[in-house]
């Protein structure tokens, strides 16, 4: 019933009962139990033309919430999401400095204010960050200019150290939790979960975006470089340590070019503002995203820019074909600048994608759709991950214990 409310905010009790095959009596009983646990509440539904009056299921006004944070290249946002999973932005702003301690300090204060306001209703703090994440710690971020950065301070006072790394073999990411990404720091009642922004945006598209309901969703996004994830049955494929999905570092590029990640020939360098600048003979842009946006705007009127954009769109299409061949998604979603890049050079993109597909796939390739959640995708994904944690058996047990103790 809670899953139905997450899937479709505003759903009525009658509709949920029908979908789950519940009798009216059972639906009433379950609803009443969930209401007693402060998990959901009901408001009268607009009268239907036929059938008995029913009610709309909504998150309980005293129910659990998660704090979702999106740490982007140029700014940050902090939101609160109740069990219907829709993040409501509460705070945010541009980075005045990208020094990690400054950024983390600012965001930690915002998280602290929300924790003061919502108290023990806060059941997780879930962070999307424009960085490669392993064991809930930032390993590196070229867009933020960060190397290893520990985000534990975002969890507030009661921080428990992250799992040890070092000489011993890396422990695998704990499984069985929400989407599985993720850090285990912070106090037990509201752990800190940290995920890569593109992974979380893909998760959000697969759970309640344009690819909702598809069993295998490939999400690819272009910002500075390429990111994304494969989401299988609503769970992102995160690998052994949480650092999976770094599609931008597949060697789909020129082996003569060294990527800031340390590898050579990365796809990253072929599809973003850096690639367009290279084709135009410009120096490497300080802000490749803005450079790319400006190039996309100029392309229709400037043949040289149009040609450079076309070359980047070709490399995007070719790379996508490789991922489709390898991963066999039902749907491909494009986030960030991937869709504008495709739209600016649709013929090149389409030809390169078709040409790179194995023959048997060409008659029925997966649809390639613009992401529905836009720049809010990562924030939605952080909320999804946090709520998945709340709704684990352990999470619900802890919530029920808290309710009975107050």
Min. distance of Cβ 158 from Zn ion in angstroms?
Answer: 37
Closest alpha carbon to 386 in 39, 3, 67:
67
Min. distance of Cβ 141 from Zn ion in angstroms?
Answer: 13
- Nearer to Zn ion by Cβ, of 266 and 368: the residue is 266
The single residue listed with the structure tokens 């769109």 is 313
Min. distance of Cβ 237 from Zn ion in angstroms?
Answer: 19
- Nearer to Zn ion by Cβ, of 34 and 275: the residue is 275
d(CA 141, CA 111): 22
263 binds Zn ion (CB under 5 A): yes
Min. distance of Cβ 162 from Zn ion in angstroms?
Answer: 25
Residues 56-95 that bind Zn ion (CB under 5 A): none
- Nearer to Zn ion by Cβ, of 106 and 199: the residue is 199
Instruction: Fill in the per-residue mask, 224 to 253: x = in contact with Zn ion (CB under 5 A), - = not in contact.
Output: -------------------------x----
- Nearer to Zn ion by Cβ, of 197 and 205: the residue is 197
Alpha-carbon separation of residue 193 from 25, 34, 117, 177, 207 (angstroms)? 38, 26, 20, 10, 18
Residues 118-137 that bind Zn ion (CB under 5 A): none
Min. distance of Cβ 261 from Zn ion in angstroms?
Answer: 3
Out of 80, 128, 266, 276, the only residue in the binding site for Zn ion (CB under 5 A) is 266
Instruction: Fill in the per-residue mask, 286 to 325: x = in contact with Zn ion (CB under 5 A), - = not in contact.
Output: ----------------------------------------
212 binds Zn ion (CB under 5 A): no
- Nearer to Zn ion by Cβ, of 156 and 285: the residue is 285
Strand partners, 227: 221
Q: Which two tokens stand for residue 187?
A: 């106090």
| Cβ atoms 67, 125 nearer than 8 A | yes
- Nearer to Zn ion by Cβ, of 232 and 261: the residue is 261
192 binds Zn ion (CB under 5 A): no
The single residue listed with the structure tokens 């534990």 is 152
Min. distance of Cβ 213 from Zn ion in angstroms?
Answer: 33
Min. distance of Cβ 248 from Zn ion in angstroms?
Answer: 6
- Nearer to Zn ion by Cβ, of 267 and 399: the residue is 267
261 binds Zn ion (CB under 5 A): yes
Min. distance of Cβ 259 from Zn ion in angstroms?
Answer: 3
Min. distance of Cβ 262 from Zn ion in angstroms?
Answer: 7
| Cβ atoms 123, 390 nearer than 8 A | yes
Min. distance of Cβ 364 from Zn ion in angstroms?
Answer: 32
**Size of residue set near Zn ion by CB under 5 A:** 5
15 binds Zn ion (CB under 5 A): no
The dihedral built from the CA positions of residue 161, 249, 269 and 128, taken in this order, carries a sign that is negative
Max distance between CA atoms of the chain, in angstroms, equals 71
Each as own residue / partner, the long-range contacts of residues 36-39 (CB below 8 Å, 24 or more positions apart, any chain) are 37/396, 37/399, 37/400, 37/403, 38/62, 38/63, 38/64, 38/403, 39/2, 39/63, 39/64, 39/83, 39/399
257 binds Zn ion (CB under 5 A): no
- Nearer to Zn ion by Cβ, of 13 and 134: the residue is 134
- Nearer to Zn ion by Cβ, of 138 and 259: the residue is 259
Segment interacting with Zn ion (CB under 5 A) among 101-109, 258-266, 352-360, 361-369: 258-266
What residue ranges bind Zn ion (CB under 5 A)?
Answer: 249, 259, 261, 263, 266
């Amino acid at each position: 019933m809670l899953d139905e409310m997450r899937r479709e905010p505003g759903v009525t009790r009658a509709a949920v009962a029908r979908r789950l095959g519940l009798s009216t009596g059972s639906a009433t009983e379950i609803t009443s139990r969930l209401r007693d646990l402060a998990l959901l509440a009901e408001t009268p539904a607009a009268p239907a033309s036929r059938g008995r009056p029913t009610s709309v299921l909504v998150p309980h006004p005293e129910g659990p919430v998660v704090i979702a944070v999106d740490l982007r290249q140029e700014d940050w946002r902090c939101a609160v999401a109740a069990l219907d999973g829709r993040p409501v932005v509460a705070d945010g702003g541009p980075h005045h400095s990208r020094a990690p301690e400054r950024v983390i300090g600012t965001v930690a204060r915002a998280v602290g204010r929300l924790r003061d306001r919502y108290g023990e209703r806060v059941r997780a703090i879930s962070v999307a960050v424009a960085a490669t994440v392993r064991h809930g710690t930032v390993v590196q971020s070229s867009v933020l200019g960060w190397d290893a950065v520990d985000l534990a301070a975002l969890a507030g006072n009661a921080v428990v150290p992250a799992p040890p790394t070092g000489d011993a073999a890396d422990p695998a990411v704990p499984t069985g939790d929400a989407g599985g990404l993720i850090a285990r720091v912070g106090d037990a009642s509201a752990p800190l979960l940290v995920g890569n922004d593109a992974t979380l945006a893909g998760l959000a598209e697969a759970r309640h975006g344009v690819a909702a309901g598809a069993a295998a969703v490939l999400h690819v996004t272009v910002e500075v470089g390429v990111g994304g994830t494969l989401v299988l049955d609503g769970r992102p494929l995160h690998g052994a340590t949480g650092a999976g999905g770094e599609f931008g570092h597949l060697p789909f590029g020129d082996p003569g070019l060294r990527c800031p990640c340390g590898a050579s020939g990365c796809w990253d360098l072929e599809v973003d503002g850096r690639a367009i600048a290279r084709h135009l003979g410009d120096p490497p842009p300080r802000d490749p995203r803005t450079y790319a946006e400006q190039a996309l705007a100029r392309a229709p009127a400037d043949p040289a820019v149009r040609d450079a954009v076309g070359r980047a769109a070709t490399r995007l299409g070719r790379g996508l074909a490789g991922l489709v061949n390898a991963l066999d998604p039902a749907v491909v979603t494009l986030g960030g600048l991937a869709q504008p890049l495709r739209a600016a050079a649709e013929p090149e993109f389409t030809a390169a994608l078709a040409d790179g597909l194995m023959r048997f796939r060409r008659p029925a390739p997966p649809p390639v759709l613009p992401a529905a959640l836009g720049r809010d995708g990562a924030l939605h994904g952080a909320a999804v991950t946090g709520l998945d944690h709340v709704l684990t058996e352990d999470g619900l047990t802890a919530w029920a214990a808290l309710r009975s103790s107050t």
